[in-house]
């Protein structure tokens, strides 16, 4: 199978997951072939979603619990994916002079032969924090559910990525940016405003990415 064909198979899985705009229709048969998450997204007992349905405000135990859930999942279910933290701190309108911790989680699946900066990444992003107010706000759809969806996408895609990498290794096709495709998931922290959405009270994690 040509590497371009394998790449299209992999990308079609992502398209079917609804995170990328497709340029051509996908058949009903293709959608039926996508594994179902079953009860993984059950709000009460789903192993992906339920642990995230808690207040996840930066600097609180809920933030730590959400981080632990994300890391534990990839370490347990997808050990080939690399995990990197991008940590920062910032003062907020409700913290006075105290610095609040923010931590972006970067999870990557890339060809085993790549050198730093060589992979051509498809990037999928969601934020995992929830609002400071009102107290006890959970943020199920913004953004616990998208985080759970990204976790499921990673699991579905992983086997196709490995198949593509194995075949590329056999054919000696790796080593070029155009060929070396990977996927990275960014779980961003500090997206929500603590008081009022402004350029300085919002997107704490994202703004740190752009500043580095």
Q: Which residue has the higher pLDDT, 110 or 210?
A: 110
Paired tokens of 193: 């405003």
Q: Which residue has the higher pLDDT, 170 or 191?
A: 191
Is 181 a member of any domain? yes
Q: Which domain holds residue 158?
A: 36-211
Per-residue confidence band for 188, with pLDDT thresholds at 50, 70 and 90: very high
DSSP summary character for residue 182: E
Is 67 a member of any domain? yes
Q: What are phi and psi of 114, to 5 degrees?
A: -75, 155
Is 20 a member of any domain? no
Strand-strand pairing, 120-127 and 181-188: parallel
Paired tokens of 101: 């911790």
Is 100 a member of any domain? yes
Is 196 a member of any domain? yes
Is 88 a member of any domain? yes
Closest C-alpha among 60, 70, 32 to residue 135: 60
- CA–chain centroid gap for 84, Å, is 12
Q: Are 71 and 83 in contact (CB under 8 A)?
A: yes
What is the share, in percent, of the chain residues with pLDDT greater than 70?
87
- Nearest-angstrom CA–CA distance, 123 and 90: 25
Q: Are 192 and 129 in contact (CB under 8 A)?
A: yes
| Residue that the structure tokens 């990557």 belong to | 108
Q: What is the pLDDT of residue 40?
A: 95
For the chain, give the mean pLDDT. Answer: 87
At 133, which CATH number?
Answer: 3.40.630.10
CA distances from 105 to 22, 34, 78 (A): 27, 26, 15
- Nearest-angstrom CA–CA distance, 84 and 3: 28
Domain count, the chain: 1
Is 156 a member of any domain? yes
Q: What is the pLDDT of residue 32?
A: 75
């Amino acid at each position: 199978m040509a590497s371009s064909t394998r790449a299209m198979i992999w990308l079609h899985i992502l398209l079917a997951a609804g995170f990328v705009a497709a340029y051509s229709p996908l058949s009903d048969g293709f959608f039926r072939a996508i594994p179902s998450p079953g009860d993984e997204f059950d709000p009460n007992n789903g192993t992906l979603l339920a642990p995230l349905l808690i207040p996840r405000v930066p600097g609180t135990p809920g933030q730590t619990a959400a981080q632990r859930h994300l890391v534990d999942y990839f370490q347990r279910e997808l050990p080939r994916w690399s995990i990197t933290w991008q940590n920062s701190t910032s003062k907020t309108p409700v913290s006075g002079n105290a610095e609040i911790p923010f931590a972006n989680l970067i999870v990557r699946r890339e060809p085993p032969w790549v050198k730093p900066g060589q992979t051509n990444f498809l990037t999928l992003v969601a934020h995992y924090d929830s609002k400071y107010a009102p107290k006890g706000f959970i943020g199920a759809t913004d953004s616990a559910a998208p985080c759970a969806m990204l976790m499921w996408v990673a699991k579905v895609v992983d086997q196709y990525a490995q198949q593509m990498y194995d075949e590329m290794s056999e054919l000696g096709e790796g080593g070029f940016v155009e060929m070396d495709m990977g996927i990275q998931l960014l779980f961003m922290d500090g997206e929500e405003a603590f008081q009022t959405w402004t350029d300085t009270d919002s997107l704490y994690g994202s703004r740190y990415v752009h500043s580095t």
